[in-house]
Amino acid sequence: MFRKRTVLIGGAILVLITIFVTFIGTNVLYFALGNLPLYGIFNMNGDKTQYNKLNQVKEIVKKYYVEPVEDDKLMEGAAAGVAAAVDDPYTVYMDKKEYEDLMTQTHGSYAGIGVVVSVDPKDNLITVVAPFEDTPGEKAGILPGDKIVKVNGKDVWGDKLDEAVSMMKGPKNTEVTITIVRGNLSDFKEITIKRDIIVLQTVKHKIIGNDIGYIRITMFDEKTSKDFDAALDELYQKNIKGLIIDVRDNPGGLLDQVVKIADRLVPEGLVVYTEDRNKERSEEVSDAEQANVPMAVLVNGGSASASEILAGAIKDHRKGTLVGTKTFGKGLVQTVFPLGDGSAVKVTISKYYTPNGISIQGVGIQPDVEVVLPDELQKSVAQIKEEEDVQLQKAIEIVQSST
């Protein structure tokens, strides 16, 4: 069952139903391209030969396929096939509904079970990056690293990631059954989850002990930096002596949001830079303002993408101590290109690097102080009691010793 499947792209009808999920493991930039016609994605360089080839295939299928086929269906399939041909699970074509779902989720709410998934290239299995806090997925016991192998009894694979995500989404109060494997790939577990509207509160804060500020960031959506600023300002007003930033199980999100947050914490200099296929470099920098108290950052295997940008910037600038376990290792940047008819294509356009020039794609970031949670605490971070959280307790100890 676990053999890798190959995406076949040819003269057959390619209808790959795609839907975005790893927004959260993805850094999405938006570019308005105006009214770009659908055929433009086949003919951007003026190469009519390739466009004509696709057109010939379309006409042959229309004329000879055993059942009537609509033009729109063929073009949708062709667009999806072109995106799938690069063999990158983050480069996908999105029809109108799927693009609308992406926009809705980026704005902070959607209907589903509340987990972010990616693809493990080693086995082509759909892998949970992290469940969002207080969502049906978290409450059902879904953990980072779980492999989703079936949805409602149907086998699902990484090369059709978005189709699987579409199956997991659905109206509020309806149920979906997913089959996961955890650790041993022969140990299957079925979990039935009732879907709900996922409304994300991405920033939570409090005082730990008498004088240590604690800010948990669960993802980076368009409101996160504003909420972070308000939380940090409130903690400063309470005269905190140290600060702990918790991005455990944070699957990432919007690049501009994490850059704004890093700008509040690290000194003047580079926050992150990206390189595209031509090695052209784009830099994001911070100003002179920086955190004025000792700081620790909590990370784990569910800390991905934008979370790793924040952790990498703090580590490379030596502004704080990373505590926990190795991060996920998602160092790719995607751009969404609207196509003018309500659909869009999301394309991986570059890799990002920490200020010291380190690419974490497929590697992750090692913490400065490794602390592994005991087996009995292998659950969502939000479900661990503060006094039992050995990673948090170590971060408190480090911050206190620096005050």
Instruction: Tell me the DSSP string of 247-275.
Output: -TT---B-HHHHHHHHHHHS-SEEEEEEE
**Per mean pLDDT, which range of 41-50, 91-100, 160-169, 293-302 is the poorest?**
41-50
Q: Which of 87-96, 267-276, 298-307, 361-370 has the lowest mean pLDDT?
A: 87-96
Instruction: Say yes or no: 220 and 284 in one domain.
Output: yes
Q: Are residues 150 and 207 in the same domain?
A: no
Same domain, 195 and 217: no
- In the chain, the number of structural domains is 2
In a domain, 85, yes or no: no
Domain that holds residue 220: 203-330+351-402
d(CA 292, CA 120): 39
**Residue 305 known to be catalytic:** yes
- Which residue among 316, 350, 380, 394 is the active-site one? 316
pLDDT of residue 1: 43
* 83 part of a folded domain: no
Give the percent of the chain with pLDDT over 90: 53
- Examine residue 224 and state whether it is found in any structural domain, yes or no: yes
Integer Cα distance of 143 and 284 in angstroms:
32
Residue 229 bears catalytic tag: no
Looking at the chain, the number of H-run helices and the number of E-run strands are 9, 20
Among 169, 330, 346, 394, which one carries the catalytic annotation?
A: 330
Q: Which of 118, 305, 307, 380 is catalytic?
A: 305
CATH number, domain with residue 267: 3.90.226.10
- Domain membership of residue 240 (yes or no) is yes
Residue 362 lies in a domain: yes
Q: How confident is the model at residue 190 (pLDDT cuts 50, 70, 90)?
A: very high
Packed helices 224-237 and 255-265: angle between N→C axes, nearest 10 degrees? 20
**Residue 378 clears pLDDT 80, i.e. is over it:** no
- 223 and 132 together in one domain: no
- Is 90 exceeded by the pLDDT of residue 37? no
- DSSP-derived pairing of the beta strands 281-286 and 269-276: antiparallel
Does 194 share its domain with 207?
A: no
310-357 confidence digits (pLDDT tens) = 999 999 999 999 999 999 999 998 889 999 899 999 999 999 999 999
pLDDT in tens, 228-247: 999 999 999 999 999 999 99
Same domain? For 207 and 194 the reply is: no
At position 16, the amino acid (one-letter code) is L
How far, in Å, CA of 201 to CA of 217, rounded? 9
- Which residue, of 183, 199, 215, is where some domain finishes? 199
Q: Using 50, 70 and 90 to split pLDDT, how confident is the model at 155?
A: very high
Query: Do 237 and 173 fall within a single domain?
Result: no
258 in the same domain as 389: yes
Active site residue 330: yes
- Would the pLDDT of 7 be above 80? no
Q: What whole-number distance in Å separates Cα of residue 238 and Cα of residue 292?
A: 14
* Token pair belonging to 19: 């839907």
Q: What is the pLDDT of residue 400?
A: 94
Of 199, 215, 232, which marks where a domain is finished?
199
Last residue in a domain, options 145, 164, 199: 199
